[in-house]
Chains A and B, each alone.
Chain A
Amino acid sequence: MNNQKETLTSAKVKQDSAPCATQAKQESREDVHAHIFSTSSSLQPREGNWSSLLNWLDVSPDALVIVNQTGQIMLVNDQVETLFGYQHSEFIGQPLEMLLPQRFHEAHVLHRERYAALPRTRPMGAGLELYGLRKDGTEVPVDISLSPLLVDGELYVLGAIRDITERRRLQEREHLARAEAEAQLELLQLILDELPTSVYLVQGEEARLVLANRAATAVWGATWQVGQSMQDFLTSNHIRVFNIHGEIFVPADLATLRAFQQNEKVQAYQESIRHEDGTIIPVLVNAVVLGQHFLPGVKVIVREDEKKEYYSDSAERFTLVVQQDVTESMELERRKDEFIAMASHELKTPVTSIKTYVQLLHRRLMQEGNEQSAQILTKVDMQLGTLTRLINELLDVTNMATGILSWHEEMFDLSHLVREVVEDLQRGTERHRIQIEGEVSIQIAADRERIGQVLSNLLTNAIKYTPQGGPIVVKQRLEEDKILLSVQDWGIGIPAEKQAQIFERFYRVRSPEHETFPGLGLGLYLSQEIVKRQGGRIWVESQAGEGSTFYFTLQAKPSFEKGKGDEE
């Protein structure tokens, strides 16, 4: 091969087995250029002569072959020799088919004849995979372009052959990588589809879908198209999402969008999805924002030609969303609540009857002057009061969970209520002295019984957690449009680390010294809910071993202050 290179141009000019080469006229390079590269019309063969051709054949990076109308090879450049492994002399005068695998021969002859009839510059075998045949019998993938050529008035065809082995290899590798990534993603899809939990992946601020599993389609009641934004998906399918209170979600508050916008992990977010047909699916949503490096496969795979395409267009982050359909557990919860509500109601009936009997008996004993026995019945009655309160708490908590806490607003004098509650609780204890300080006689609009319930809860706690007895102080203070009430005791107090939790549902301070105190752990939770509902706030200041002060505020809504004693 090195040999040939040395003799490159001269050899070809000398070896003029090419019949016309000898007649070549010397022309200036500019003329050659004008002739050969004339692109005036691709239908018109280019014109030139052999000598001008020889000047540029070897500068081409492609292998160039010139054949006559009968398909005989007239001229080749150096690259052809390199590509096919023949000596220059072995080509000349041979049929072009020597460079093609046997299987293409027959068809090629036909193609060649057809080309001769309508010669123009074009790629050969467009869309087909072309191969050349080397001298050693191996095949090489090639691209071929054809161009008609007029040399000294005669029509020839110039074929430019390019070895595309490397390109094919790269394509193949890319194809393989793509297939592998697709397979991985398909496997992922398969796994996700088998999950009972709804899972979907969205991209960017608008939450455009990348992929979703079957359960997601079931939860949404519609198919979310890949690339479709969440808002568009919801709107076009008439899907509405409600929060726990049955209010429609502002889009930005949806777990999926919220996680992305605030770049935070959203956990156990409650949403109710309503389909167009009215079906409601309550879900718990977890959403987490992922960096792009989590999904190397997704970006490669954008298959627009298939019905399943994976969307990805920029460096925007992804949000992975998992929805758990809680229809069943909600139903169980609902039945449990219903049961408790019914049970509470059923329990109250016998309590009513017992209470009436007890009070009746108490009155008789008093009339008979048997005060000692009457005292015992007072204690029974107190216990019945506790029982009633517990039943009510259970009922309230279950009702609160369903958002139907009964509320009956009326105007009343707060100081009267405070006095009533204090007197009621004082009756149940001899060791504690409940004092009222700073009485504010003010009419407020609220649920009298509920506010009484809060005060009663706080006082019950103060009594319960001051086992040694002592004073308990109830204070009222008017502050602009608010009334501040406080209940202070000097009992065992609450450790600082537990103060934040005491308002939680079913929470009870657990420590050796607290173990002996009974209760459901609902009182403070209910109190907080009631105070919040009234537009107020409840909090505690306490130190372990030194006692606690519970505060709560009430809005002094449309009200008019009354001077003390106006009522009497």
Chain B
Amino acid sequence: MKGRKQKTIFIVEDNAGVADALVLLLVEEGYHVDLWVQGTEVNLQPPFPDLILLDLLLGGRDGQTICRHIKDQETTRHIPVILMSANKNVPRIAQEAGADNWIMKPFELWNLLALLDASIGQRQLIFDQEVSE
């Protein structure tokens, strides 16, 4: 597994307070972070991130639609997506949208970090396997 410093996480979050805190945290954790504050801005081009942290309730285009789109594209399907929401139904919504995982707001720091590690690690393992085959 590559070190955290080499990993890129895209955050899609329209609330400035939450976005700022997340960026602060993830940068401190050694991730490379890109932030989109509008759902409509999301436009994935290579090089792709290692993970996308996606808010569910966004202005313009909601997280569910964006996730569905990412998972529908051959080129972006492999990118792990974590849906974030204060909505109690996020587990179901995440499943329906094809997200890899979900986290309920407000979250515990350690919980989020563990989830990021697990998601990137997991994906990396599968990816490595595919490459080696």
Contact = CB atoms under 8 A, between A and B. Distances in A.
A353 interface: yes
Which of the listed residues B15, B57, B88, B89 has the most CB atoms from chain A within 10 Å of its own CB? B88
Nearest to A362: B109
Interface string B50-71: 0000000100000000000000
Contact of A359 (B18, B87, B108): B108
Interface string B89-133: 101100000000000011111000000000000000000000000
A408 B92 contact: yes
B46 interface: no
Nearest to B14: A349
B44 interface: no
A349 B17 contact: yes
Given A359-B109, A363-B109, A408-B91, A352 B86 contact: yes
A360 interface: yes
A70 interface: no
B21 A356 contact: yes
A351 B87 CA distance: 14
Interface in B1-47: 15, 17-18, 20-22, 24-25, 28
Given A356-B21, A360-B24, A360-B25, A348 B105 contact: yes
Given A348-B86, A408-B91, A360 B109 contact: yes
Contact of B105 (A349, A357, A359, A406): A349
Contacts of A399: 88
Contacts of B92: 406, 408
Interface string A186-200: 000000000000000
B89 A406 contact: yes
A356 B18 contact: yes
A411 to B, nearest CB: 14
Given A345-B86, A348-B106, A359-B108, A353 B25 contact: no
Contact of A355 (B24, B89, B107): B107
A98 B101 CA distance: 114
A351 B106 contact: yes
A356 B86 contact: no
Interface in A317-367: 345, 348-357, 359-360, 363
Given A348-B106, A349-B105, A388-B106, A357 B21 contact: yes
A352 B18 contact: yes
Contacts of A353: 15, 17-18, 20-21
A384 interface: yes
A395 B88 contact: yes
A354 to B, nearest CB: 8
B105 to A, nearest CB: 4
Contacts of B28: 360
Nearest to B88: A406
Contact of B15 (A349, A388, A395, A396): A349
B82 to A, nearest CB: 14
A388 B86 CA distance: 10
Interface residues of B, number: 21
A62 to B, nearest CB: 92
A60 B29 CA distance: 125
Contacts of B25: 356, 359-360
A355 B108 CA distance: 8
Contacts of B91: 408
B106 A352 contact: yes
Interface in A432-462: none
B112 to A, nearest CB: 8
A353 to B, nearest CB: 3
B47 to A, nearest CB: 27
Contacts of A351: 105-106
Contacts of B107: 352, 355-356
B43 to A, nearest CB: 25
Contact of A345 (B17, B21, B22, B87): B87
Which of the listed residues B15, B22, B105, B106 has the most CB atoms from chain A within 10 Å of its own CB? B106
A384 B105 CA distance: 12
Contacts of A396: 88
B87 A360 contact: no
Contacts of B57: 345
A413 to B, nearest CB: 18
Nearest to B95: A408
A352 B24 CA distance: 14
Contacts of B20: 353
Contacts of B24: 356-357, 360
Contacts of A352: 15, 17-18, 21, 86, 105-107
Nearest to A399: B88
Given A395-B88, A408-B91, A349 B18 contact: yes
Contacts of A392: 88
Contact of B106 (A360, A363, A384): A384
A12 to B, nearest CB: 108
Contact of B22 (A348, A356, A384): A356
A392 B105 CA distance: 11
A536 to B, nearest CB: 20
Contacts of A357: 21, 24
B97 to A, nearest CB: 15
Contacts of B106: 348, 351-352, 354-356, 384, 388
Nearest to A410: B91
A350 B21 CA distance: 11
Contacts of A355: 106-108
23 contacts: A345-B57, A345-B87, A348-B106, A349-B15, A349-B17, A351-B105, A352-B17, A352-B18, A352-B86, A352-B107, A353-B15, A353-B18, A353-B21, A354-B17, A355-B107, A356-B18, A356-B106, A359-B25, A359-B109, A360-B25, A360-B28, A363-B109, A406-B92
5 pairs of A and B residues whose beta carbons are closest in the complex: A353-B17, A356-B21, A348-B86, A406-B88, A359-B109
Given A349-B105, A360-B24, 17 more contacts: A345-B86, A348-B106, A352-B18, A352-B21, A353-B15, A353-B17, A354-B17, A354-B106, A355-B106, A356-B22, A356-B107, A357-B21, A357-B24, A360-B21, A360-B28, A363-B109, A406-B88
